[in-house]
């Protein structure tokens, strides 16, 4: 069967990507790093990858940051296991390391921890959660820097004030902590409540924002 123009174009692109990949595994470490970056960029431009990730240092440990075509899809603390496998299962197995694609959110995280940023100017991708959980996380993104709400208040903003326990479960499983600031949700009466990234980190974040003495 004769090949179509689209098939020929895809084959040509695959050959170029294969050549870049060969370059990335040869030569000095520095040249391999540059070639790897070119591979990630070419694959992204060719639509051959759906999730790109990199790591960034923070006062709370090394964070893994992943972005999809829709926005930031994952921020993971260092002790979290099988993060990439989870992304492969829930978003797409077409995952690639890329410092270029993640540089914006990593820069904003650095500015946040340095006290230079109060809001994140990035799109978030909550496609891995559904229903009430997504509504809770959407409501949470609108809590201002330095402020806190209770689980009941967040549940109410998500459409069901009586579902505070469900709101707590949704926040505990938040796939994009810090950017989606679930640390700003506390118990009624002043208790901190839980946090998927450990209570010590929740305290550190609230202190950074001036919401906790």
Q: How many domains does the chain have?
A: 3
Active site residue 31: no
Least confident of 36-40, 59-63, 72-76, 90-94: 36-40
Report how far residue 179's alpha carbon sits from residue 123's, in angstroms, rounded to the nearest whole number.
10
Confirm whether 3 is domain-assigned.
yes
Q: pLDDT by residue (tens digit) across 114-144?
A: 999 999 999 999 999 999 999 999 999 999 9
Does residue 81 belong to any structural domain of this protein?
yes
The encoded tokens of residue 30 equal 């520095």
* Whether residue 141 is found in the same domain as residue 120: no
99 domain-assigned: yes
For the four alpha carbons of 178, 59, 57 and 117, in that order, the dihedral sign comes to: positive
Tell me, yes or no, whether 42 lies in a domain: no
Residue 213, domain member (yes or no):
no
One domain, residues 52 and 115: yes
DSSP E strand boundaries for the chain: 51-56, 63-67, 72-76, 95-97, 149-150, 185-186
Over residues 88-99, the pLDDT tens digits come to 999 999 999 999
- Whole-model pTM? 0.82
The count of other CB atoms within 10 Å of the CB of residue 151 is 24
3-state DSSP assignment of residue 151: helix
pLDDT of residue 48: 75
Residue 3's domain spans which residues? 1-37
Tokens at 162, concatenated: 């009586």
- Paired residues of 64 in beta bridges: 55, 76
Does 26 score more than 70 pLDDT? no
Is the pLDDT higher at 106 or at 8? 106
Query: Is 65 contained in some domain?
Result: yes
List 54, 182, 186, 206, catalytic entry: 182
**What is the per-residue pLDDT for 13?**
60
Tens-place pLDDT, residues 138-189: 999 999 999 999 999 999 999 999 999 999 999 999 999 999 999 999 998 8
């Amino acid at each position: 069967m004769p090949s179509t123009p689209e098939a020929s174009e895809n084959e040509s692109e695959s050959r170029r990507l294969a050549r870049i990949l060969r370059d990335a595994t040869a030569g000095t470490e520095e040249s391999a790093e540059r070639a790897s970056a070119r591979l990630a960029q070419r694959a992204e431009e060719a639509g051959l990858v759906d999730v790109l990730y990199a790591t960034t240092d923070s006062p709370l440990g090394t964070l893994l940051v992943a972005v999809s075509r829709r926005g930031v899809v994952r921020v993971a603390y260092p002790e979290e296991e099988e993060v990439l496998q989870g992304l492969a299962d829930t978003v797409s197995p077409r995952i690639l390391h890329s410092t270029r694609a993640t540089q914006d959110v990593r820069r904003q995280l650095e500015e946040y921890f340095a006290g230079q940023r109060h809001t994140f100017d990035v799109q978030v991708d909550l496609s891995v959660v559904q229903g009430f959980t997504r509504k809770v996380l959407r409501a949470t993104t609108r809590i201002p820097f330095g402020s806190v709400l209770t689980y009941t208040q967040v549940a109410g903003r998500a459409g069901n004030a009586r579902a505070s326990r469900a709101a707590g479960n949704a926040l505990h499983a938040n796939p994009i902590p810090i950017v989606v600031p679930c640390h700003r949700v506390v118990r009624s009466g002043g208790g901190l409540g839980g946090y998927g990234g450990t209570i010590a980190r929740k305290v550190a974040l609230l202190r950074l924002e001036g919401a906790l003495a």
